[in-house]
Amino acid sequence: MAGTPSVAADRVLLSIDGREVTAKPGTTILQAAQAAGIRIPHLCHEPRLKPSGACRLCLVEIQGQPGFHASCARPVERGMVVSTSSEPVRSLRKTVLEMLVSEHVMSCSTCDRDGECLLQDYAYEHGIDEKRFPSIAPAAAASGVPNYTSESLAISYDPSKCIRCQRCVRICEEVQGVEALTLTSRGGDVLVSTGFQRPLQETACEMCGQCIGTCPTAALHEKAARGKGKPKDLARVRTTCPYCGVGCQIELNVNRRVNRIVRVTGRIGSTPNNGLLCVKGRFGMDFVARADRLTTPLLRENGSFRKASWGEALEYTATRLREIRGESGADALAGLASAKTTNEDNYVMQKLVRAAFGTNNVDHCARLCHASTVAGLAMAFGSGAMTNSIADLRDAPVIFVIGSNTTECHPVIGTTIRQSVASGRTRLIVADPRRISLAGIAELHLRHRPGTDVALLNGMMHVILQEGLEDRQFIDTRTEGFEELRAAVEKCPPESAAAITGVPADDIRRAARLYASAESAAIVYSMGITQHTTGTDNVLSLANLAMVTGNVGRPCSGVDPLRGQNNVQGACDMGALPNVYSGYQRVDDRGVRGKFEAAWNVPLPDTPGLTVVEMMNAAEAGRIRAIYIMGENPVLSDPDIAHVRKALEAVDFLVVQDVFMSETAELADVVLPAFSFAEKDGTFTNTERRVQRVRRAVRPPGDARDDWRILCEVSTRMGYPMSYPDSAAIMEEISALTSIYGGIAHDRLDGTGIQWPCPTPTHPGTPILHRESFTRGRGRFHAVQFLPPRELPDEEYPLLLTTGRVLQHWHTGTMTRRCEVLNALVPGGTLELNPADAQALAVSSGETAVVRSRRGRIEIPVAVTERVDRGTVFLAFHFREHPANALTISALDPVAKIPEFKACAVRVEKREASRP
Ligand code: SF4
């Protein structure tokens, strides 16, 4: 090592196999070797796990230190001389492998992982003798030891392939934070098990399949994928998960011969999920190949559907739209874009509505989830999006989760938060009316009444100002309107907030101190904040809290709205909103409009259009006569569905473009079959503003077509020609007209994607917004006062209903309820009822209740649970047989026009006792 060049003070210089290598202190020998391209075989270790040194395969020699050392667990030292493949090392490694093989049935020719198995690879490389040691491998039937994991719905465990490396046990505990697995028994009978006399689905297991993802052999595998194709038979297509806004990178393993997705894998090192998936991402893709996919255009004739050719369906659609526009004007037409389809589809949809229909009546389901985020954060910061990145949550000293059941609605972000808390780096505050999973690991759970967020936040800010915990310098140099905020929060001492929220005043004080005293604190929120008639006020309050403590524009701080659908951020970015073009450029700004008119070569309407709920009202009143819906299901997803159904039945012409015959499609005049995400090329934008690729993995069924191509055909037949050679060309047009996407192009997105704003082709993207100044210049405080939900419990309807999601299902269930594992795990909904309320109503778990509101009634089984507080009931909105939105109220937030899904008054009765 003498005479070597100088090494940076924060690096260690060592020698591995005769090569000089530098590494950061704390790096293991294995990591240093890998970084230098030197391969050391290992089985029990992977980068997401703490080193265990259990398999003894990664042993190395260190000069001057007797014996062999596990390189996965041994940190580098200055001047260390390491040998990874000396003769003694190779000989010992071979013996270790031969012992492992004696515990394993090497039936490679019939194994699902043949060609993708580390044990097989190492055995081959080392030329091991399979018979050197007598076999002690347990039989697949587990040599008499109960094998509870094998009874899992989704995960199959073959003990004869298990090498007891414990990666599955450790990933479940260390990464997923669940501890559903353990090792049982002794000696040759050691097995992976739940440790209980119960199958996995009856334990804390979330069926994420992280255990499968880390298994180095075929011991753990997707049950449904057994025998469906070896790795050599499967093409791996990297794409983006079609469910939630986390935007996990997934690999669809496709058997091209039969055009089927066989399994889904994650890739370690991928952004944002580092190979982790949730149960939907791993087991929720059966819907793509379902036999009931729409495969041909359908036209309604004499009350029922008949098949039609594309030519007939498109011509009829364009003709009817033209006729209605001719009779009643352009504003009698409307379009709903989709948070499930790609950016390119959404851009073309809003262009169709604006340029071909001639109206700004375009909206989508963002109105129903985060319209108040877009409005509120734009008012406070100038940009209505997540300020920081998901990765920041790994190191945030404090995370304040409010109105977000993160582990169920954004599971991989929930896992990230769990890991941060478990590591000791993060202190967690949870504010939620329900005892959600994260509340169990939080330092403080503020169980406030639904709809009292502003009072809670004003109470916290009152404490912060009273105790001098505010960031004066940030307030003075970066913000405006502080005195108005001070005046507003002065009126809300913690005792007043406690009376409104039900949270003890001391807990409000503790939360305020914890949040404000942290070096950095991140706010994570979701629809518990936004889906209120005070949704915009709630968002403004969170912006106030972040600004008053200087928690914006820095790493591990910020205000992070978790967007619901996979591409709801992108659909907003693309201008699928009634008041803005792509990039939030206002339609009523003459200069902006002129730019789009010149680019699209058509005069454009100058007044903002109608939002979703306004469209339904206008449809019922006869002012909207035709609606074109792409990939949305408002009959289940919108509030007060009896009203929505009436509105859609009232229009003269309804077009639905979708992958299945949804509840909304059943009402349509024309149904057009579209590609699913697995058949598309394009992009989604995840919740942290990361634009990521969607790639075609399978061939589409029947005559289904790409959404944007269908829209282009309709536009052209309406007299406004639109065509693109491919989706990359659409992105070229988007980037030319949209500064925040100015540097986005498909061929730049192959790595980790790019976070907007990305104004130029060489810009790397923006992980943190508002660093030097806010998008609007100075951050704006808003004086916000508490207002109660529009409909509160009374004598007739004495309980408060709040709605949300469950882990295993998604939105209106169109996709997840067609997936075998997901449907088996949660076949239907339940009404969560507090034990005290259940006792008063004389109803028990499993019995059926009738739930009524002023708008409708449903029947649903009851789950008695402490998760909800007394006086509050909870329903998930995925299930058509007991639709939550038959009950919800369509009262709107006055600014964002988002409905109040999270609070309305209901009455619950046991079914036998109910009135008809
Ligand atoms: Fe898909 Fe969201 Fe699950 Fe990730 S966390 S796998 S994006 S549903």
Q: What's the gap in Å between 108 CA and the centre of ligand 1?
A: 32
411 lines ligand 1 (CB under 6 A): yes
Mutate to test the pocket of ligand 1, among 277, 569, 822 (most ligand atoms within 8 A of CB): 277
Dihedral in degrees, nearest 10, Cα atoms 386, 392, 395, 399: 10
248 lines ligand 1 (CB under 6 A): yes
Q: How far apart are CA 672 and CA 655, in angstroms?
A: 8
pLDDT of residue 2: 45
Mutate to test the pocket of ligand 1, among 208, 212, 263, 278 (most ligand atoms within 8 A of CB): 278
pTM above 0.85, yes or no: yes
The DSSP output letter for 699 is P
The number of helices, as runs of H, and strands, as runs of E, in the chain is: 28, 37
Q: How far apart are CA 396 and CA 387, in angstroms?
A: 14
Mutate to test the pocket of ligand 1, among 175, 271, 409, 410 (most ligand atoms within 8 A of CB): 410
Q: What's the gap in Å between 339 CA and the centre of ligand 1?
A: 15
DSSP string, 759-776: -STT----SSSSSSSBTT
Decide if 253 contacts 285 (C-beta within 8 A). Answer: no
What's the distance, CA 764 to chain centroid?
24
pLDDT of residue 173: 93
Nearest CA to ligand 1 atom 2: 244
**Index of the ligand 1 atom closest to the CA of residue 246:** 7
pLDDT of residue 371: 86
**Index of the ligand 1 atom closest to the CA of residue 282:** 6
- Strand 682-685: give its sheet, edge to edge: 682-685, 690-694, 754-755
Q: What's the gap in Å between 390 CA and the centre of ligand 1?
A: 13
Q: Is 912 exposed, middle or buried (0-12, 13-18, 19+ CB in 10 A)?
A: exposed
Residue appearing with tokens 């369509």: 890
564 lines ligand 1 (CB under 6 A): no
The DSSP output letter for 6 is P
Q: Which of 11, 888, 4, 912 is nearest to 450 (CA)?
A: 888
What's the distance, CA 492 to chain centroid?
35
Decide if 745 contacts 761 (C-beta within 8 A). Answer: yes
Q: Which of 142, 239, 779 is nearest to 482 (CA)?
A: 779
Q: What's the gap in Å between 277 CA and the centre of ligand 1?
A: 6
What's the distance, CA 117 to chain centroid?
30
819 lines ligand 1 (CB under 6 A): no
Among positive and negative, which fits the CA dihedral 128, 130, 136, 140? Answer: positive
The DSSP output letter for 892 is B
Decide if 770 contacts 628 (C-beta within 8 A). Answer: no
pLDDT of residue 5: 56
Q: How many other C-beta atoms are found inside a 10 Å radius of the C-beta of residue 474?
A: 19
The DSSP output letter for 621 is T
The 10s digit of each residue's pLDDT in 374-413 is 899 999 999 889 999 999 999 999 999 999 999 999 999 9
Q: What's the gap in Å between 244 CA and the centre of ligand 1?
A: 5
Q: What's the gap in Å between 742 CA and the centre of ligand 1?
A: 28
Nearest CA to ligand 1 atom 4: 248
805 lines ligand 1 (CB under 6 A): no
**Index of the ligand 1 atom closest to the CA of residue 250:** 6
Q: What's the gap in Å between 278 CA and the centre of ligand 1?
A: 5
- 429 residue type, one letter: I
**Index of the ligand 1 atom closest to the CA of residue 278:** 3
**Index of the ligand 1 atom closest to the CA of residue 686:** 7
User: Rg of the chain over CA atoms, in angstroms?
Assistant: 29
pLDDT of residue 149: 54
280 lines ligand 1 (CB under 6 A): yes
Q: Which of 828, 835, 769, 715 is nearest to 354 (CA)?
A: 715
Mutate to test the pocket of ligand 1, among 241, 279, 282 (most ligand atoms within 8 A of CB): 241
**Residues written for the chain:** 916
Decide if 596 contacts 737 (C-beta within 8 A). Answer: yes
Mutate to test the pocket of ligand 1, among 176, 208, 243, 825 (most ligand atoms within 8 A of CB): 243
Q: Which of 164, 155, 145 is nearest to 101 (CA)?
A: 164
**Residues 6 or more apart whose Cβ sits within 8 Å of residue 335:** 349, 350, 352, 353, 357, 361, 362, 627, 628, 629, 630
The DSSP output letter for 151 is G
Q: What's the gap in Å between 282 CA and the centre of ligand 1?
A: 8
562 lines ligand 1 (CB under 6 A): no
- Strand 19-23: give its sheet, edge to edge: 19-23, 12-16, 81-83, 59-62, 65-70
Mutate to test the pocket of ligand 1, among 208, 239, 246, 805 (most ligand atoms within 8 A of CB): 246
Q: What's the gap in Å between 281 CA and the centre of ligand 1?
A: 5
Q: What's the gap in Å between 410 CA and the centre of ligand 1?
A: 7
Nearest CA to ligand 1 atom 1: 281
**Index of the ligand 1 atom closest to the CA of residue 413:** 5
pLDDT of residue 655: 98
Q: What's the gap in Å between 518 CA and the centre of ligand 1?
A: 30
**Index of the ligand 1 atom closest to the CA of residue 277:** 6
pLDDT of residue 92: 92
Q: List the structure tokens of 422.
A: 């478990």
246 lines ligand 1 (CB under 6 A): yes
241 lines ligand 1 (CB under 6 A): yes
243 lines ligand 1 (CB under 6 A): yes
Q: What's the gap in Å between 170 CA and the centre of ligand 1?
A: 21
Q: What angle do CA 467, 472, 477 make, to 5 degrees?
A: 160
Q: Is 519 exposed, middle or buried (0-12, 13-18, 19+ CB in 10 A)?
A: exposed
The 10s digit of each residue's pLDDT in 567-624 is 999 999 999 999 999 999 999 999 999 999 999 999 999 999 999 989 999 999 999 9
Mutate to test the pocket of ligand 1, among 239, 244, 878 (most ligand atoms within 8 A of CB): 244
* 189: three-class secondary structure by DSSP: helix
Decide if 911 contacts 850 (C-beta within 8 A). Answer: yes
**Index of the ligand 1 atom closest to the CA of residue 810:** 8
Q: What angle do CA 332, 899, 872 make, to 5 degrees?
A: 155
Q: What's the gap in Å between 371 CA and the centre of ligand 1?
A: 22
277 lines ligand 1 (CB under 6 A): yes
Label the pairing between strands 191-193 and 398-402. unpaired
Q: Beta partners for 427?
A: 398
Q: What's the gap in Å between 280 CA and the centre of ligand 1?
A: 6
Q: Beta partners for 77?
A: none
Q: How far apart are CA 416 and CA 102, in angstroms?
A: 38
Q: Which of 287, 276, 285, 286 is nearest to 248 (CA)?
A: 276
Q: How far apart are CA 122 and CA 9, in angstroms?
A: 37
Q: What's the gap in Å between 413 CA and the centre of ligand 1?
A: 9
Decide if 879 contacts 871 (C-beta within 8 A). Answer: no
For the chain, residues with pLDDT lower than 70 are 1-5, 138-151, 185-189, 195-197, 913-916
Nearest CA to ligand 1 atom 6: 281
With residue 411 as reference, give the H or E element that holds it: helix 411-423
Dihedral in degrees, nearest 10, Cα atoms 898, 900, 902, 903: 170
Decide if 402 contacts 438 (C-beta within 8 A). Answer: no
244 lines ligand 1 (CB under 6 A): yes
pLDDT of residue 186: 65
Tell whether omega for the bond before 725 is within 30 degrees of 0, i.e. cis. no
789 lines ligand 1 (CB under 6 A): no
